[in-house]
Amino acid sequence: MSSRAVHGRYGEVYIGEEMVAEISAFSINETADTAEATSMGDVAATYRLGVSRGDGSLTAFWDADGDGGQENLVVGECTTLKLYPAGRAGGDLGCDAGLSTPVEIVAKCWITGKTMNVSMGDIITADYTFVLEGPLVEQPYTP
């Protein structure tokens, strides 16, 4: 069986149809609340599902010109991110295997933080954090 692994270098992030430039990493976390429903006399714990929630982060090489989409990542504002783990074209699956099917993850979210990282000898980066407003939508990408 061949691996369906795709290298992270293909990842892309968009706001609307504008690519956010210089992204070097992103992550998304989803969780669901649970409430314990175990009764006296039960021999194992039982749970009931509550609401889901999520958050995430982006790391980008700082865009000094301010025209690469990062200017739209404003702390305290709600936006919709479109994340493509394997890019819009799909990621390379290896020798003679072709490209993966592109997947689009749509995340309506609040931008909750921005951190600038400046260090002598390194490229300046900006870290952005966000919290989801509603569910993630994961679907095949069709241009």
Q: What is the pLDDT of residues 109-126, one digit of tens each?
A: 999 999 999 999 999 999
Predicted confidence band of residue 93 (pLDDT cuts 50, 70, 90): low
pTM given for the model: 0.84
pLDDT of residue 34: 96
* Predicted confidence band of residue 28 (pLDDT cuts 50, 70, 90): very high
Report whether pLDDT(9) > 70.
yes
Give the pLDDT score at 58: 95
Task: Please tell me the distance from the alpha carbon of residue 73 to that of residue 134, in angstroms, as a whole number.
Answer: 18
Interval 53-68 mean pLDDT: 89
At residue 89 the predicted structure's pLDDT band, cuts being 50, 70 and 90, is confident
Q: What is the average pLDDT across 3-19?
A: 81
DSSP, collapsed to helix, strand or coil, labels residue 100 as coil
**Residue 9, phi then psi, degrees to nearest 5:** -65, -15
Q: How far apart are CA 16 and CA 10, in angstroms?
A: 19
pLDDT higher for 101 or 11? Answer: 11
86 CB-side CA count, 13 A: 18
Residue 80 confidence class, pLDDT cut points 50, 70, 90: very high
For residues 125 and 60, the answer to whether their CB atoms sit within 8 Å is: yes
Per-state percent for the chain, helix, strand, coil, to nearest 5: 5, 50, 45
